[in-house]
Amino acid sequence: MDSWALISVSDKRGLVDLARWLVDQGLQLLATQSTATALSESGFTVHTVESLTGFGEILDGRVKTLHPKVYAGLLADESLAHHRAQREALEAPRIDVVVVNLYPYETALEQNAPLADRIESIDIGGVALIRAAAKNFARVIPVVDPEQYAEFMQKPLHEWTLNERRLWAQAALYHTAWYDAMIASTLGPLPEGWWPRRWAIGGTRQESLRYGENPHQPAAFYRWPGPGGVAHGTLLQGKALSYNNWADLDTAWRLAASLEEEPAAVVVKHQTPCAVAVADTVNEAYRKAHDADPVSIFGGIVAVNRPVDTSLAEALTDLFLEVVVAPDFTPEALATLGRKKNLRVFQVPAGAHPMDWEVRSVTGGLLVQARDDHYSAWDRWTRVAGPDWAGRVSPADLRLAWASVAMVKSNAIVVVNHGVTVGIGGGQTNRVDAARQALERAGANAQGAVLASDGFFPFGDVLELCQAYGIAVVIEPGGSVRDQESVEKAEQYGITLLFTGERHFRH
């Protein structure tokens, strides 16, 4: 019984070794044009799809393999006599292995290719071949990625179990689903607030993680096509990042990047900032952030938004940190950090990632939303009580307080004084507890400081606390039915009260 492998690959890495193995397994080779050329140049006997179908490629390759002879060879259920008879009547070869890797749409995307070029990079026939093979997995094995070749060649074809074949079919269908999801989401922008009836996201597995949030939770890390974002960063030193490391460094980096106007340092623990600072230099910002909470920083993640030099690297190696994140490191700084073998050093590429979705699962479903990355500036806020903030606090402190409170878990209150968070209260189930926590931590440093709240005040009680601690300026969204209570208290205490008109919950 003749058995064939159909090979149609854009990425020709590993092709020769794979073809040799297939021939050793007793398969004959059938290939599309340039794949066939590459194979025959390497000395293989190979039949072209064109010679099988008597039909050459048309429309610049948009139609190559879409022919009944190919699909009869793939889709015939050989356990059914009439399928066998129809395939044989067509003189279609029995194809038992399909090796296809698709037109590189992802590369076109990453290279920012114009839309017309990206459209030409949308594979049609390759997807259909993979799909047909996956449907007929009881007989046909789809191989879709050069990364799979080594595993594929590990044992003879006749030893493949039905379970293994099904698993490879599933991997192949995930592959085409990923491919189509990538195309669907990047052909052009979606209107704000418009969600397709059916939705899919696709990522490429970068690594299987040792475990998830806890050791009994299996986990993996997938990333969307780049460029930009922490997912496309580089681990320059240290052990592989854990699930919690990824989550924490994302929080740290997003906050550091959002403070781009000044050199900034952010310390994060458990996805919430424990200290954030801005200064004239990033070294000074780090020192301020460190001193603001020298206890919580232990085992934390530090992100800075400017390159790390030797003196900052020295300071960073003075204590136990999990990860240091920055846009760049001088070679000398890397050498210094290298003395701490267990410290992970992570470089994030410039620029945000174009996909600004946030996705979270609930049991049985997914929640999807636009990322909360847009903080309004003070010139769009309304002063509703007290004197002008100018002269009392700096614009940098307002910015720092508002950006930081947006990244603290709700209910969140942040107190900022002279470029550093002096008190952070977060993850509380009522706002006054969050305020008490932040103000107690700030202590005397609350005198003359800015206090920001991620949500509005339902009562005037937070203002009372602010007065007791000497807060000068309060930033909150406004919008409570009892706003007037807070406004009156602020007036009475001489506190400047600013309404931002936007809230920044982070649950």
Ligand X SMILES: NC(=O)c1ncn([C@@H]2O[C@H](COP(=O)(O)O)[C@@H](O)[C@H]2O)c1NC=O
Q: Of 19, 27, 29, 32, which lies in the binding site for ligand X, with binding defined by CB under 6 A?
A: 32
Q: Name the 3-class secondary structure at 64.
A: coil
Query: Least distance (Å) from ligand X to the CB of residue 61?
Result: 5
Determine if 16 is a binding residue for ligand X (CB under 6 A).
no
Stretch that binds ligand X, among 99-107, 248-256, 279-287, 415-423 (CB under 6 A): 99-107
Query: Least distance (Å) from ligand X to the CB of residue 36?
Result: 7
Query: Least distance (Å) from ligand X to the CB of residue 44?
Result: 14
DSSP string computed for 157-172: GGG--HHHHHHHHHHH
Determine if 51 is a binding residue for ligand X (CB under 6 A).
no
Stretch that binds ligand X, among 3-11, 373-381, 411-419, 447-455 (CB under 6 A): 3-11
Stretch that binds ligand X, among 95-103, 167-175, 244-252, 409-417 (CB under 6 A): 95-103
* Binding-site size, ligand X (CB under 6 A): 21
DSSP 376: P
Determine if 272 is a binding residue for ligand X (CB under 6 A).
no
Residues 488 and 460: beta-carbon distance below 8 Å: yes
The residue among 101 and 486 lying less far from ligand X, judged by its C-beta, is 101
Residue 409 annotated to the active site: no
Stretch that binds ligand X, among 55-63, 241-249, 283-291, 463-471 (CB under 6 A): 55-63
Q: Of 3, 25, 28, 33, which lies in the binding site for ligand X, with binding defined by CB under 6 A?
A: 33
Q: How large is the greatest C-alpha to C-alpha distance in the chain, in angstroms?
A: 94
Determine if 35 is a binding residue for ligand X (CB under 6 A).
yes
DSSP string computed for 183-243: HHHHSSPPPTT---SS-----EEEEEES-SSSTTS-EEEEE-S-SSSGGG-EEEESSPPPH
Stretch that binds ligand X, among 28-36, 204-212, 406-414, 448-456 (CB under 6 A): 28-36
13-42: b or e for each residue (b if 16 or more CB lie within 10 Å)? ebbeebbebbbeeebbbbbbeebbebbeee
For helices 243-258 and 395-407, the axis angle rounded to 10 degrees is: 160
* Residue in 12, 47, 270, 418 annotated catalytic: 270
Token output for 449: 């400081």
Residues 462 and 442: beta-carbon distance below 8 Å: no
Q: Tell me the β-bridge partners of 223.
A: 204
CA 141/CA 40 separation, integer angstroms: 23
Stretch that binds ligand X, among 79-87, 101-109, 156-164, 316-324 (CB under 6 A): 101-109
The residue among 6 and 252 lying less far from ligand X, judged by its C-beta, is 6
Q: For 440, phi and psi rounded to 5 degrees?
A: -60, -40
Determine if 63 is a binding residue for ligand X (CB under 6 A).
yes
Q: Of 18, 22, 46, 65, which lies in the binding site for ligand X, with binding defined by CB under 6 A?
A: 65
Q: Of 4, 8, 325, 401, which lies in the binding site for ligand X, with binding defined by CB under 6 A?
A: 8
Cβ contacts of 66 within 8 Å, gap of 6 or more:
124, 125, 128
Structure-token match 């190919």, residue found: 70
Query: Least distance (Å) from ligand X to the CB of residue 67?
Result: 8
Q: Of 14, 40, 61, 204, which lies in the binding site for ligand X, with binding defined by CB under 6 A?
A: 61
Query: Least distance (Å) from ligand X to the CB of residue 47?
Result: 13
Determine if 6 is a binding residue for ligand X (CB under 6 A).
no
Contact string 109-128 vs ligand X (x = CB under 6 A): --------------xxxx--
Q: Of 44, 71, 103, 378, which lies in the binding site for ligand X, with binding defined by CB under 6 A?
A: 103
Residues 346 and 223: beta-carbon distance below 8 Å: no
The residue among 32 and 486 lying less far from ligand X, judged by its C-beta, is 32
* Residue in 135, 340, 341, 504 annotated catalytic: 135
The residue among 130 and 256 lying less far from ligand X, judged by its C-beta, is 130
The residue among 202 and 425 lying less far from ligand X, judged by its C-beta, is 202
CA 281/CA 153 separation, integer angstroms: 55
Bridge-based pairing of strands 4-9 and 264-269 is unpaired
CA 408/CA 271 separation, integer angstroms: 8
Determine if 258 is a binding residue for ligand X (CB under 6 A).
no
Q: Is the dihedral of CA 190, 194, 196, 200 positive or negative?
A: positive
The residue among 57 and 372 lying less far from ligand X, judged by its C-beta, is 57
Q: Of all helices (H) and strands (E), which one includes residue 395?
A: helix 395-407
Q: Of 13, 34, 358, 387, which lies in the binding site for ligand X, with binding defined by CB under 6 A?
A: 34
The residue among 131 and 399 lying less far from ligand X, judged by its C-beta, is 131
The residue among 34 and 217 lying less far from ligand X, judged by its C-beta, is 34
The residue among 49 and 406 lying less far from ligand X, judged by its C-beta, is 49
Helix ranges, 279-323 (H)? 282-292, 310-316
The residue among 98 and 209 lying less far from ligand X, judged by its C-beta, is 98
Determine if 64 is a binding residue for ligand X (CB under 6 A).
yes
Q: Is the dihedral of CA 257, 260, 265, 269 positive or negative?
A: negative
Q: What is the CA radius of gyration of the chain?
A: 29
Bridge-based pairing of strands 382-385 and 413-417 is unpaired
Residue 135 annotated to the active site: yes
Residues marked active site are found at 135, 270
Q: Which residues bind ligand X (CB under 6 A)?
A: 8-10, 32-35, 61-66, 100-103, 123-126
